[in-house]
Every structure is written in C-alpha cells, then in structure tokens.
Structure 1
Amino acid sequence: MNAAPAFCAIDFGTSNSAVAVPDGARGMRLVDLEPGQRTMPTAVFYFSEGAHDADGPPRAFGRAAVKAYIEGHEGRLMRSMKSILGSPLIDQTTDVGGGRGAKYSDIVAGYLKRLRRLAGEPTRVVLGRPVFFVDGEPARDATAQAQLEACARAVGFTDVHFQYEPIAAAFDFEQQATQEQIVLVADIGGGTSDFSIVRVGPERMQRLARRDDILASHGIHIAGTDFDRHIELAGLLQAFGYRSTGPSGREVPSGIYFDLSTWHLINTCYAPLRVAEWRGMKSWFGDVRHHARLMTVLEERLGHELAARAEGAKIDISGGADTTVDLGHIERGLVLPLSEKTAVDALRADLDRIISTAHETVAQAGLRAEQIDALYFTGGSTGLRLLVDGMAAGFPQARRVTGDRFASVATGLGLHAQRLFGTA
C-alpha cells in the first residue's frame, strides 16, 4: 500500500476543481478525480432519499452530481459554491430535499473532503484563491479566505496555505520559459477574472521567496457564470417573458428571470408561494405562451437545466459562429436561435471591464503595455475567442500563449506546494 502523501494542492474553482499531489522524483502530478478526468465539476447533488453514512447525507459529486440531476433524481444540485464565500449565506441553512437542510459551509466542506480523500488524505495543503473573492471590500475578502480555511481545517487539513490563482498559473508558464521575461497571466474562470504580472525565468524557478517577482495582482468578480447569465437573459429568457409587456403596458417583473439565470439562486424560484404567485400573473403577459413556458420551468424545476443550455450555447458561439438552443423539453418544438451578434451585445460590457482590468494591472506594476513579453491565458472562459482576441489587441507586441484552461492553476499550485512543503 502506498503511503499517504504529506501534502497536496487544490484548485477549488467556481466551475471546476483539480488536485495535485507529490509523485516521487517526478515532482507533482494531477490526480484523476473521476475516471480519466483530471478535473471535476465543482458540483454536489444531495439525494432526497437514502441513509446518512460516515461521510454525511447521500450525495454525488462532480459529473455524477450533474448526471443525477439530469436523470431526474429527487434532490438538490449545488454549483458555484465558491461564490458564497464572503457572504452571510455561508452560515445559513438551505433546503437540500427530503426535508433535509445543510449549512452552506458544510456543503463547501463536504466537497473539499471529497477532494482530500481523492488526494490520499494529506494534512497539508496549498489552496488557490482569486485575487479578490469580493471586489472592493477588503474586510469581506479576508472573511472569505477565513471561511475557506475553516472549511479546509474542518475536513482534516492542519496546515493550510494560500496562493493567488494567476500567480500559480505563472509558475506553470515558467516551466517553458527559456529566458527571463515579464508575463501577464489572465486567469478567467467561472467566477472571477484575475490578473498577475510576474517576472519569470529558468533561474528563478526554484526560489521559494518570489514576492519581488510579483509585480502586480488585480482582479474583478466577472467571469464565465456572468457570461452565462447574460446570454440566458438576452438569448433565452425573452422567450419566457423577460422584458416583455402585457395588455396594460406594464413590464413583466424581472426579478424571477435574474434569479433563474443565477445558479445559487435558482432554487429560490421553486418556493411554493413564489410559484403560486407567478401562476396567478398570467394576465401580466402579452403572450400567454411566455407565461406557460415560465410556469413549466418553475413547476417542473427546470431552471438549472435551462442555465446549462445557456452555458452550452456560450461554448457553441465561443469560436464565432451562430447556434441554436433546443428547448423541446420545455415546449415541444421550441428551438431558439442565438447569433454571435446577440452574444457580443450581451457580453460587451463585461468583456470591456475585464480587458480594462488587465490594463489596470499593468499600470499598477508601473509598466507600459509594450513591456509585457507574454500573455498567458488560462481558465475555462479563455475559450471565448471574443475575449482573448480583444485582450491580445491591447498588447500587440506580447507573445500569446494558451495554457491548459482547466489544469494550469492546479499545476502551478502543485509546484508552489512542492517548494513550500517538499523539504519540510
């Protein structure tokens, strides 16, 4: 039997997570979190039925969690758990089906416990964190890190360290550096867009103290889940009554649509009183088909599936092509077109803010755009061509490099963990 690893590194992402562990003389390796998969969706499905075991209530994780939801098992799907950190929700209890409740902190801890077990149950960990959990609120940002550390300690980690995710990605990029250079790392994932400017080079790789090489770090709480929400609102939910007006000329209230397009709020749309309220609002709709579709989503609890279709549409148009979204599970024959122009218009404000944040990071480092040698893109949302091309246009002299969108951060966190713990 192999001895348990002494330490690990965890990239606990908004959309996906990954884990690195020591691999003998070869350094670090990424763990298969599911068969043949080095990354796992940050998702938990709580089953309404089934007995508790030593690990807690009956649950499925990752792809199995999403599959349980899609197959129609009774229960509650939890995603985007990282977005709860830093908010009062962390100490609140939410309904997970079957008359059961779970604290949000226990949901986060349960997922970390799963990752720790898959890593071989080490006691020391480097956890990735965004540059800002919460934009512009240092106290809440510090609270978010403290909450994540508390969850990690609750599941058996006794030595917990943090590293900024874009800096970890810079360490991954550094493995291919043949000379000293300044790299702007763009780590754009599901919840945040983070940037770091780091001086890298083969002679710097083995240094544990790299503070002087970190020239600036900055970020904004806008990323992939925001893209999904805007695409769902602009491209899908208008067929359900969003921004429509009724016979009286009043606009249909928009709150339900904002909640339906926000993962951690979708479940609130299914509250019996809320469903009953919207059932009685048919007269508000100029097109009764819109009301019928909305009620199907609410009564059959199809909000998460609708959000998943929006995410799939974003992926389809990421290369610059129009697509269609099949919603036949809501209404027979319902297929909605989604053009690249609609997506661009829906995302333009977010893309502009992200690109502006990249340039602000350069300014904070006291540099000019032409002094950046390379742009290193990582994170799931860097698959969006509109974003990558728009950012690269502001740094025409920089070499564009694309890392493993889902594993670069975990790889870099592993390198940092090895330097931190490897000689301990």
Structure 2
Amino acid sequence: MPSPDYCAIDFGTSNSAIAIAADTAGHRLVAVEGEHRTMPTAVFYFADADDAPPDVPAPPRAFGRAAVAAYVDGYEGRLMRSMKSVLGSSLVDQTTDVGGGRAVKYLDVITGYLQHLKAKAEAEAGTTLRRAVLGRPVFFVDDDAQRDAQAQAALEAAARAVGFQDISFQYEPIAAAFDYEQQTQHEELVLVADIGGGTSDFSVVRVGPERARRIERKDDILANHGVHVAGTDFDRRVELASLLPALGYGSRGKAAGGQPGREVPSAVYFDLATWHLINTVYQPARIAELQSMAGFYGVPLFHRRLMHVVRERLGHELAARAEAAKIAVAAGGAHRVQLDMVELGLAMDVDELQAERAIADDLQRIVATAHETVRAAGVPSERIDALYFTGGSTGLRLLTDRLAAAFPAARAVRGDGFASVATGLGLDAARRFSTA
C-alpha cells in the first residue's frame, strides 16, 4: 500500500517543521536536520560555490543550523532569516543581492526553503508529497485585509512552485489547540497563546476527547485574533535600548548657540535592528550617505563605531547578540554582551529590568490582544479553563507571567515551544486528507 501523499508544514519566522503520516495511525515530525525535528528558518547563500555542501543544487546554499553555522564561521555570503516577515510586504517580489554576483527574489528564498523541507520529508516518507496543510498566523499583516490575503497567496504560490497541488491553510494557534487537546480528559475552553518570532496569535477553542474525533471543527473555534508583535520585535527593542546607544542611537549632535544639539537621525539604527532590512544598510549609496553624516554627531566615536559596523557588515552579528541577550535574561539576572568586533574591550550589560522596560509597550499590546480575543469569543475571562503557551517566545518569563496574571482563573500549560503547532497541523492534515 503506497504511503500517504500529504504533510503539514509549520513555516515559522524563527523555526520551521514538517509532519508526515506515520506508518500506523497518526503522524510524525520529520527529522529535518540530523536528529532535530525543527530547524531554524534560515538560508545562507555562499558567495563561492566551492564552499557550499556538494549535495545542494544551485544556487549554493545551506539551510537551518548549517546556514547559521556558515555565517558564524565567516564564509563569504548572505544569511537570510525572518523570511516570513516579507510576506504581505512590497519586498516579496523584489530581488536582493546574495553575493557572488547573484541576486534572488525574496519569494524565491522562501520557495527554496520549502523545497528543502519537502525533500527531507519525501526522503523519509518514501513518496512524493502532493497535499499539504500550511500553518499561518491569524494576521500576516495587522489591519490590512488586502495585504494579509496577498501574504497567504504568496505563501501558497511558493508551495505550489515546489510541487504541492492540494493546499489548505490552518491558523497556527488553532493547530496548537489540537495538540493540547491530546492531553485533555474532559471538555474545556482553552486560550491558546502562540507567540513566535513574528506574531502573537490567540484563539479560544472548545476542546475535548469527543470533539477530537470530529473532522469539521468550525463550531469549536470561538475566536481568533493576533498582533504582529513577537520575538523579533523584542530582539529589536533590546538591541536599540541596550546595544545601539554605543553606536550613537539616541545621542545628540554638537550644541550650538546655547542650544543642545539635535538627536542624530535614527533610521539607520532601526534598519540595523531589523533582520530583513539589515542588508539595505550595506548598499554603497547608503554607506556614502552615512559617512556624510559625521557632522551630525556630537561624539565622533559613535559615528566611527557605526561606520565600522556598516563597512564590516556586522549588523547581523549585532542582531544575533541582542537575541542572545534577550534569551539570557529571560529567566532573570543579567548578561554582558561582548562587542569586541566593534571595538576592542567594548561590552554592554543587559539585565531583566532593562529588557522589561524595552519591551513594555509590546507586552501591553500582546496582553490587550489576548483580552480582545476572549471578548470576541463572548465568554467571561474566568470561563477560560486553560492558557496554553506555545511558540519560541513563550520562553520569555516576562511575557508568560504577564499573560498568566491577566487570566488568573486559567491553568497555565506549556506546550513544546517549537513543535506544538507542527504537531497540531499534522493532526489537522490527517483529518482532512486521510479519508480523501
């Protein structure tokens, strides 16, 4: 009997996974990178084709942890992360330089990554996969239905380009609810908090052993809501607040006429702190513009550090160190960020209080979105039985403590931060396709 030809894909901002049908009932997550069943959503384009793995088709690339390792090891090329963030933006159809005299469309970067996931899954399944359930955030783009629809259409186009013919979408927090449902003993109302790298999504779902047997679950989904604020936004806030002041962010120009100098232009710092915009700072015209701004800086050292970062293309390394600092202080305490690559001996301290101040507005928006979701469900907050946390950013204690305090009657339950959505999507795919 041929293997089922369906799968489920969790294409995340920070990490991704793919599930296929199991030999027995149910499904399993594919080992996409060694023994790992999730992998970073990252692609590294090698400037020199001789540096690329021999089994990777052109253009020369590495994926996941191998992509990050290639960047860390200093290979010439371009690291692409947070590709999901370009869906729904004007960037998706634009081309970008990836080194070695090559340029690719952002959508082709996504397509190549999906092709890599699909190939891994087909090798394990032993068959060609033609049908797929893809996860999607509640909103790719906040408050813009047209761009949100365009984002889903772009992701569907990428999926069709790699050979999927029958494609369905499921909201990621609903998939997480299906995962949570496997451990329920009786009917419950669960508020799923799926907070990853790009979005914070919430769903109120009625779950239970009897309901789990149904194929059609529309009536069990009471409300969905989301906001385009999550882990990469936290990273950006921490970098701006704690690291980039050493490069002049928030500083002022020279005083004149008894008046304090104006704040130096901040656009370059926001771009340096946003993964998919960092490469724009390295363009020759942009570098020339930044060099001409030396006179804006009251502290010339700040400008020299900034220009060193731009000329040496250190923006991605700064962003990675900001992310590491956020993770390090997630459980409390402090973390010293070494910035020797900017200037010998330069280091900045980041503690939990600094991080909390940096992301306070984002936390407030996320909690408000959770409350709005419950109100939209038409149930009082005390009726929520469980608050189910999934997504990589739920490892941030500041965030989960704030959400748990907002729903004190609910039992806080932690899922697999990186695999709950993929597991739930696999359950959904089995319901949709196993009888088709």
TM-score norm. by structure 2 comes to: 0.95
CA distance, structure 1, for counterparts of residue 269 and residue 56 of structure 2: 39
Q: Report the AA paired with residue 31 of structure 2.
A: D
Matches within 5 A, 1:19-418: 19-50=18-49, 55-120=57-122, 121-248=128-255, 249-418=261-430
Compare 289-298 and 181-190 and name the one that shifted more. 289-298
| 8 Å CA contact retained: 1:4, 1:122 | no
| 8 Å CA contact retained: 1:106, 1:151 | yes
Cα deviation, residue 287, structure 1: 2.1
CA distance, structure 2, for counterparts of residue 195 and residue 29 of structure 1: 25
Name the counterpart of 2:125.
none
Query: How many matched pairs?
Result: 423
Cα deviation, residue 99, structure 1: 1.4
Cα deviation, residue 343, structure 1: 0.9
Q: What SS class does the counterpart of residue 202 from structure 1 fall into?
A: coil
**Sequence identity percentage:** 64
CA distance, structure 1, for counterparts of residue 317 and residue 22 of structure 2: 39
Kindly provide the CA deviation profile for residues 142-168 of structure 1, in whole angstroms up to 9, marking residues without a partner as x: 111111001000011111111000000
| 8 Å CA contact retained: 1:47, 1:74 | yes
Q: What SS class does the counterpart of residue 111 from structure 2 fall into?
A: helix
CA distance, structure 1, for counterparts of residue 278 and residue 56 of structure 2: 30
CA distance, structure 2, for counterparts of residue 271 and residue 198 of structure 1: 47
Q: What SS class does the counterpart of residue 301 from structure 1 fall into?
A: coil
Q: What SS class does the counterpart of residue 142 from structure 1 fall into?
A: helix
RMSD (Å), alpha carbons: 1.5
Cα deviation, residue 310, structure 1: 0.3
CA distance, structure 2, for counterparts of residue 157 and residue 54 of structure 1: 21
Cα deviation, residue 259, structure 1: 0.2
- Structure 1 gap ranges (5+): none
CA distance, structure 2, for counterparts of residue 155 and residue 359 of structure 1: 39
Kindly provide the CA deviation profile for residues 240-274 of structure 1, in whole angstroms up to 9, marking residues without a partner as x: 10010121412211010000000000000001121
Cα deviation, residue 32, structure 1: 1.0
Q: Report the AA paired with residue 41 of structure 1.
A: P
Cα deviation, residue 5, structure 1: 4.5
- Structure 2 gap ranges (5+): 123-127, 256-260
Cα deviation, residue 289, structure 1: 2.2
Q: What SS class does the counterpart of residue 136 from structure 1 fall into?
A: coil
| 8 Å CA contact retained: 1:169, 1:411 | yes
Compare 260-269 and 321-330 and name the one that shifted more. 321-330
Cα deviation, residue 403, structure 1: 0.1
Cα deviation, residue 238, structure 1: 0.5
CA distance, structure 2, for counterparts of residue 392 and residue 98 of structure 1: 49
Cα deviation, residue 180, structure 1: 0.2
Q: Report the AA paired with residue 34 of structure 2.
A: P
TM-score norm. by structure 1 comes to: 0.97
Cα pair distance change 1:305/1:5, threshold 3 Å: farther
CA distance, structure 2, for counterparts of residue 266 and residue 100 of structure 1: 18
| 8 Å CA contact retained: 2:332, 2:351 | no
Q: What SS class does the counterpart of residue 186 from structure 1 fall into?
A: strand
